[in-house]
C-alpha cells in the first residue's frame, strides 16, 4: 500500500503562486475542452469534489449551455471517522445536500442537470473498481467528454475513480481529462511524479473564483472537524485557498 501523502498542512500556497511551472502552463478554454454538441460527464469520488476540482469549469459549461452529467461515486459518509456529531448516517444525508447547494451557488441549472448517485462505499471504492468501470461505462457515449480525479491524486478513492473513468472512457471511445485535487497538497511544481507535460490551465475570472469560493462554503461538514475527538476539518483554510487560484488545471 502506498503511504498517505495527505498529511500536515502540505505545500504552501506561496509555492504555487510563485511556481514557474504553473505560470508557463499552456491555456485551454472550456469551449475547447467540451466542443458544441458534446456532453460533459463529471465523475466525483465524494460530494464536493466536483466543486473543488472543477467549480470554474462547471460555471463555464453552464454559460455555454453544454449538457452536464454528474456522477457522485460515494456519499462521502466516511469523512469524519469516530465522530458522533458528524456520524456516517448524518453525513450520508447531509453531504449530497451540500453538493446540491454548492452547485446552486455556482449557477448551475439543477432542474436540467442529470445527477447519478452510484452508492459506492466511501474510502473503499478500489475494492469494487471493476463494478465502477461497468457503472460509468453504462452511462457514457462516445461523444462524451469525461472529467475525473487524477489516477495518482493521493487519495485512494480519487485514484480508483480516475482509473475506472479511464477504463470506461476508453471502452466507449469517450475523451478523458483528469483533475488534480489533493495533488496541490503534496506535490510541488518540480515534482516529476506530476505529468506537467499533460497539464493545461483554464483561466478563471475573479467573479468565477468568487462563486467557486461561495460554493465551497456550502460544504459545512467539510469545513468543520470534531474538536471533541481531535478531528481537524477536511477543508482547512489552507486547503481551500490552494483550490481557489485564478485557474484550474486539467491533464489532457
Would you say 95 and 77 are in contact if contact means Cβ atoms under 8 Å apart? yes
Would you say 100 and 90 are in contact if contact means Cβ atoms under 8 Å apart? no
Residues 6+ apart with CB under 8 A from 133: 164, 167, 168, 171
Distance in angstroms (rounded) separating the CA atoms of residues 129 and 140: 17
* Centroid of chain to Cα 63: 20
Q: What are phi and psi of 154, to 5 degrees?
A: 110, -20
Q: How many CB atoms lie within 10 A of CB 34?
A: 24
Domain 13-251 in this protein, CATH class: alpha beta
| Residue with grid cell 469560493, as numbered in its chain | 213
pLDDT of residue 110: 86
pLDDT of residue 134: 98
pLDDT tens by residue, the chain, 252 residues: 566 788 899 999 999 999 999 999 999 999 999 999 999 999 999 999 999 999 999 999 999 999 999 999 999 999 999 999 999 999 999 999 999 999 999 999 888 889 999 999 999 999 999 999 999 999 999 999 999 999 999 999 999 999 999 999 999 999 999 999 999 999 999 999 999 999 999 999 999 999 999 999 999 999 999 999 999 999 999 999 999 999 999 999
Of 210, 189, 190, 136, which is closest to residue 166 (Cα–Cα)?
136
Domain boundaries, the chain: 13-251
pLDDT of residue 128: 98
The torsion defined by the Cα of 37, 41, 47 and 50, in degrees rounded to 10, comes to -70
Amino acid at each position: 500500500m502506498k503511504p498517505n501523502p495527505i498529511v500536515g498542512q502540505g505545500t504552501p500556497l506561496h509555492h504555487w503562486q510563485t511556481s514557474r511551472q504553473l505560470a508557463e502552463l499552456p491555456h485551454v478554454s472550456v469551449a475547447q475542452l467540451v466542443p458544441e454538441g458534446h456532453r460533459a460527464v463529471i465523475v466525483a469520488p465524494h460530494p464536493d469534489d466536483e466543486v473543488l476540482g472543477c467549480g470554474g469549469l462547471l460555471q463555464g459549461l453552464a454559460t455555454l449551455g453544454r449538457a452536464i452529467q454528474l456522477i457522485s461515486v460515494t456519499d462521502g459518509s466516511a469523512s469524519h471517522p469516530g465522530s458522533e456529531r458528524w456520524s456516517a448516517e448524518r453525513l450520508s444525508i447531509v453531504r449530497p445536500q451540500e453538493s446540491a447547494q454548492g452547485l446552486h451557488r455556482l449557477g448551475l441549472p439543477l432542474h436540467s442537470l442529470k445527477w447519478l448517485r452510484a452508492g459506492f462505499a466511501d474510502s473503499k471504492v478500489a475494492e469494487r473498481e471493476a463494478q465502477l468501470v461497468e457503472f460509468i461505462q453504462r452511462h457514457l457515449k462516445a461523444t462524451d467528454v469525461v472529467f475525473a480525479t487524477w489516477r495518482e491524486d493521493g487519495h485512494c478513492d480519487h485514484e480508483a475513480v480516475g482509473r475506472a473513468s479511464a477504463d470506461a472512457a476508453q471502452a466507449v471511445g469517450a475523451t478523458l481529462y483528469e483533475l488534480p485535487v489533493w495533488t496541490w497538497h503534496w506535490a510541488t511544481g518540480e515534482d516529476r511524479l506530476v505529468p506537467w507535460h499533460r497539464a493545461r490551465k483554464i483561466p478563471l475570472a475573479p467573479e468565477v473564483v468568487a462563486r467557486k469560493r461561495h460554493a465551497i462554503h456550502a460544504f459545512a461538514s467539510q469545513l468543520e472537524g470534531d474538536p471533541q475527538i481531535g478531528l481537524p476539518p477536511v477543508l482547512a483554510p489552507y486547503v481551500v485557498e490552494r483550490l481557489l487560484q485564478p485557474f484550474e488545471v486539467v491533464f489532457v
